[in-house]
Chain A
């Protein structure tokens, strides 16, 4: 059968035009820079993330200003050990309201950590000066330091605790 190129038929024309278009894209590629920088890596090679990684501001707390952060309003949960304030919002099950160690939320937990006790007697009332921890034995202090290490690895130190009248 003689072979002839029949471009007249619609299907052939469509295919031919498609081939022309694709070849044109290969020979003369498009360089289109988007007006706004894409915010997803799938949207383009030159992209920027939407936002910065979250950072927490290091604040100075007093027992009175620390107390609201007990998680009761669904907000952050903070607790202090030895003057360092830890953000334990990630451990809401333990430190949130109703949790096993919920007493410590928003309070200075140093004595409780040292004596390995979660009783309310371990906490100092808010309007009194900070617990000096002078009567602790060496092994209790070591225990508290161990807890500080555990907390430093697991949670972030987001502030320091000072006396009520220090600010």
Chain B
């Protein structure tokens, strides 16, 4: 008979009660205290809205799920922003720091008006007729010239790389060149070499040109100092030109395509306001841009994407600076270094600590490796910290204020990036392939939303942008590139050159990425016969020249 034996086995006493209570508490804690994912995984399964019909040889048209196939693309970040000048909100007069200048919106508008007037008077420009070449590294003078020229309907030319300078000077001789004093000698040489010394040239220099440079100025070349131009504009009554239309081209950004051909992206006011709307949508509403933010960007203002980021900073009233590697023009030979020192190069400006960083994959990789190297120095706690962080990320949750951050990672971050490192709250990576293996280390080391974007010189704003709170790790079936997410809110994309049978069988479509939307600029080519876009059906699908594939959840993955 079992009962007496069982009774002996099941003897309970006070200890049992105590242990039972502890066990129940621990059980409840384990089951109920699970971290909630930052975004519900069901939303990450449907990131794009897919068209129901597709043409043969092409994939369906994909749009961001929040825009939807029936939705209209956002053209502007707010209701009344139609042209570039509207991006400076007139009613907000809080000062913020742009590079090293503390300036508020009304003051900036005054400087823009003064410079515009001074330029028209001293350089003899004609509204709507002349054009200007901006050879400036990113600085406040770039913004002022850009806004001034746009308000007087004078198209400006910018370059995505300094190697394009001589070709652009030859093919599109500008009425005025705005550059740095250190570049003056170089520009003069190029003008003389091209045999253009007989034409009238006007060059406006920022800074003090050396006496040697001034001595070599030919008689037909007029060199003006920036400060003089501004002073002239302040002195006299401001010239008011008719307002440009949103569809007017205000700048052409020249870039070299993959095959080496020089092409220009004609950006209209509407392209840029749409680009600003797209950049603003990168961060979720709960974390959106605000006046207390500081944005640093590694993307030169000469490119469409870099310009969209800068104007987003202007629109939102944040402080803004660019990194050393975004500088295009140097007096001597210089190769930009993409590393931690470059990330920290924004400290030379008097901006507050960066809160949102738009960087390139190289910056992210070097930064993450440096932080984890510092973190490993606390060898007792690091394994636990890593384990806990990755366990949280596997559930979809990460935060900068956890126990392990306080113990391990905060000190690591401050050792690498200095005192302001705790202010960083979002990182946007673009312009290069991002390996999927760096994703989890980056999420652990930085513990902030990490957004992987795809940008192209023809589009103001990102084309593809991953969800900010997406912490999925889909690389368990082999290493590859991190996915770039769904199309941005005002782009629609499709893949061409796909294999129909593979798609009908249920495989992932893969082909060349084509994009369309209000932020996509019109392409002009310097060599008239060679055109990079296929014959469009009047609705202007633009080819990006990169191959991509789509996952079943609507996120795009760039290939190679």
Contacts and interface: CB of A to CB of B under 8 A. Distances in A.
Given A45-B396, A55-B53, 19 more contacts: A6-B14, A9-B11, A10-B9, A11-B9, A11-B12, A15-B22, A19-B19, A25-B30, A28-B384, A33-B394, A37-B477, A47-B472, A48-B45, A52-B550, A54-B52, A55-B503, A56-B54, A58-B54, A156-B52
B23 A52 contact: no
B548 to A, nearest CB: 14
A55 B27 CA distance: 47
A31 B41 contact: no
A36 interface: yes
24 contacts: A9-B13, A19-B22, A23-B26, A26-B29, A27-B384, A36-B476, A45-B396, A46-B394, A47-B45, A47-B472, A48-B45, A49-B552, A51-B552, A52-B506, A52-B508, A52-B550, A53-B50, A55-B52, A55-B53, A55-B59, A57-B53, A57-B55, A59-B56, A156-B52
A73 B231 CA distance: 83
A9 B11 CA distance: 7
A11 B9 CA distance: 7
A31 B26 contact: no
Interface residues of B, number: 55
Contacts of B41: 41, 44-45, 47
A35 interface: yes
Contacts, number: 135
Contact of B51 (A5, A18, A19, A55): A55
Which label, helix, strand, loop or mixed, suits the secondary structure of the A interface? loop
Interface in A50-97: 50-59
Nearest to A9: B11
Q: Which of A9, A26, A55 has the most CB of B within 10 A?
A: A55
Given A41-B45, A56-B53, A57-B54, A48 B552 contact: yes
Contacts of A46: 394, 472-474, 476
Interface in B361-405: 384, 387-388, 390-391, 394-396
A22 B29 CA distance: 9
A12 interface: yes
Contacts of A37: 474, 476-477
B553 interface: yes
Contacts of A35: 476
B412 interface: no
A19 to B, nearest CB: 5
Interface residues of A, number: 48
Contacts of B30: 22, 25-26
A15 B17 CA distance: 10
Nearest to B392: A29
Interface of B: 9-16, 19-20, 22-23, 26-27, 29-30, 37, 41-42, 44-46, 50-56, 59-60, 384, 387-388, 390-391, 394-396, 471-474, 476-477, 500, 503-504, 506, 508-509, 550-553
Please give me the 7 A-B residue pairs with the lowest Cβ-Cβ distance, nearest first.
Answer: A29-B391, A15-B19, A46-B472, A22-B26, A45-B396, A49-B552, A41-B41
B132 to A, nearest CB: 46
Interface of A: 1, 3-7, 9-12, 15-16, 18-19, 22-23, 25-31, 33-37, 41, 44-59, 156-158
A11 B553 contact: no
Contacts of B51: 55
Nearest to B477: A37
B50 A22 contact: no
A23 B25 CA distance: 11
Contacts of A12: 13, 15-16, 19
Q: Which of B9, B474, B552 has the most CB of A within 10 A?
A: B552
Contact of B23 (A3, A6, A18): A18
A31 B16 contact: no
A57 B12 CA distance: 71
Q: Which of A5, A16, A46, A56 has the most CB of B within 10 A?
A: A46
Contacts of A156: 52-53
Nearest to A20: B26
A31 B474 contact: no
B53 A45 contact: no
Q: Which of B22, B29, B46, B508 has the most CB of A within 10 A?
A: B22
Contacts of A4: 15
A55 B503 CA distance: 9
B438 to A, nearest CB: 16
A10 B19 CA distance: 12
Given A37-B476, A55-B54, A11 B387 contact: no
